[in-house]
Structure 1
Amino acid sequence: MEMKVLMDEVTACRRCPRLVEWRERVGVEKRRAYREEEYWARPVPAFGDPAARLMVLGLAPAAHGANRTGRMFTGDRSGDFLYAAMHRAGFASQPTSTHRADGLQVRDAWVTAAVKCAPPDNKPLPDERDACACFIRQELALMPSLRAILCLGGFAYEAAVRILRGAGYALPHPLPKFGHGVLVPVENGPTLVLSYHPSQQNTFTGRLTPGMLDDIFAAVRRVIDG
């Protein structure tokens, strides 16, 4: 119930004028392929199991993906790639995520983003990242079983580090540089597992392959089960 209240707060947020203007304008102008659909065009709440041991942390909703469908990593190719891997790893009930009523369930996982609104050019500003940090901090506080945070991309990694340090967790010094497959231990906290983001730029060019993401989820399993 506490998590539901928090997600209601997320959905109602209007703290960042630039993001509010952009997400709502996209929802009116729309992409031609979706012109008959009603866009969500609000902050996108996290999705999954609050009792999970794994948090999947992305950058922000895609303008015509989650900003349209209202569910994280849903309705775009990044989500297709991610949920297919989560399905193979046993974290998702099906390999596709097309809309909020498609029946998808995630097991032992919580899918969220460092910034809850779709940003122009997919690039949130530092003050927008910091304005959203309070939500992630509260999500962490409401997840007592959390053992790993899968950071999808460098932005998510940076956000996770800032949030964990702000919450009083001790991280390694010097901090490891972002790299695919890097694990960052957190004293008495969730291990950070780093992965390239499943963006089209990464998946179409082969920088991130299905096998590489499968290896990441195998590492996640070792962390949460170990």
Structure 2
Amino acid sequence: MRPSLPEVHTAGVAPTHSDPGLARTATTLPEVDALVAGCFACPRLVAWRERVARDKRASFAAQTYWGRGVPGFGDARARTVVVGLAPSAHGGNRTGRMFTGDPSGDVLVAALHRVGYANQPTSVSADDGLVLTGARLVAPVRCAPPDNKPTPDERRTCAPYLARELELLAPTLRHAVALGAYGWQALLATLAEQGWHVPRPRPRFAHAATLDLTHDDGRTLRVHGCFHVSARNTYTGLLTPAMLDDVLAATLA
């Protein structure tokens, strides 16, 4: 569910909060979502997301951009999380929903539909009727970064949101798909801090790599590596629909 907050932040409006650590107090995923949408912790990212929301792409000039932190999206009882990098400037930052309104979202949601996680093959807006069953889309960084490159400090600042989502999904979570090396490393770092037995040195990212982890409490989780669904990867054929389908289908076993 999309948080019931103003669609775009404008200069002069007081921040909701600047402490991602509040995520640790959230008892539900909607509470985490609201904290993400109200976060103003990283000045560089806040300035960029708001600039993009004001200086819109010409093809979206008539639309009101979300211009805030972008919450995760999907099933609160997911067996699988898909971990990206960060929202795109004119995708999630515009629509307010992860992997929505850009080429990456088009590719990912079509694949989620083919393997049975999504009720439809398209993801164009926050009110388009898309429903995910058994899967949730998340990211280590929740604001669109300049040049799609968050800094290490920004990732660390944002980490409590991903950590709390994983904790709240723990009763049902069995698989995690990391899109690209950034998602892979960020996910493993978070899991290691949460009591998962992540090997050291940490395994390197590779497409179709799998890593079976156990937790201190006996839970198990299989991590899958997948090339990111970026336009560069899909347009050049580095990641094909069949390759993506194979990774996602493996989470159904």
- Which amino acid in structure 1 is aligned with residue 186 of structure 2? A
Aligned to 1:136: 162
Aligned to 1:31: 57
TM (norm. structure 1) is 0.96
Aligned to 1:40: 66
> How far apart, CA to CA, are the structure 2 residues paired with 1:101 and 1:120?
27
Equivalenced residue count is: 222
Matched, 1:198 2:229: yes
Per the TM alignment, residue 189 of structure 1 is displaced from its structure 2 partner at its CA by 3.6
Aligned to 2:248: 217
Matched, 1:186 2:231: no
- Which amino acid in structure 1 is aligned with residue 221 of structure 2? P
Matched, 1:21 2:50: no
Alignment equivalent of 1:157, drawn from 181, 184, 189: 184
TM (norm. structure 2) is 0.86
> How far apart, CA to CA, are the structure 1 residues paired with 2:186 and 2:35?
20
- Is the 1:172–1:185 contact (alpha carbons within 8 Å) kept by the matching residues of 2? no
- Identity across aligned pairs (percent)? 48
- Which amino acid in structure 2 is aligned with residue 109 of structure 1? A
Per the TM alignment, residue 197 of structure 1 is displaced from its structure 2 partner at its CA by 0.3
Per the TM alignment, residue 171 of structure 1 is displaced from its structure 2 partner at its CA by 1.3
Aligned to 2:84: 58
Give 1:61-210 correspondences, 5 Å limit: 61-143=87-169, 144-187=171-214, 188-210=219-241
Matched, 1:3 2:29: yes
> How far apart, CA to CA, are the structure 1 residues paired with 2:220 and 2:55?
43
Say which structure is richer in helix. 1
- Which amino acid in structure 2 is aligned with residue 58 of structure 1? G
Structure 1 gap segments, 5+ residues each: none
- Which amino acid in structure 2 is aligned with residue 179 of structure 1? A
- Which amino acid in structure 1 is aligned with residue 180 of structure 2? G
> How far apart, CA to CA, are the structure 2 residues paired with 1:78 and 1:61?
10
Per the TM alignment, residue 24 of structure 1 is displaced from its structure 2 partner at its CA by 0.3
**Alignment partner of 1:177: what SS?**
coil
> How far apart, CA to CA, are the structure 2 residues paired with 1:217 and 1:82?
10
- Runs of 4 or more above 3 Å deviation: none
- Which amino acid in structure 2 is aligned with residue 38 of structure 1? T
> How far apart, CA to CA, are the structure 1 residues paired with 2:90 and 2:221?
31
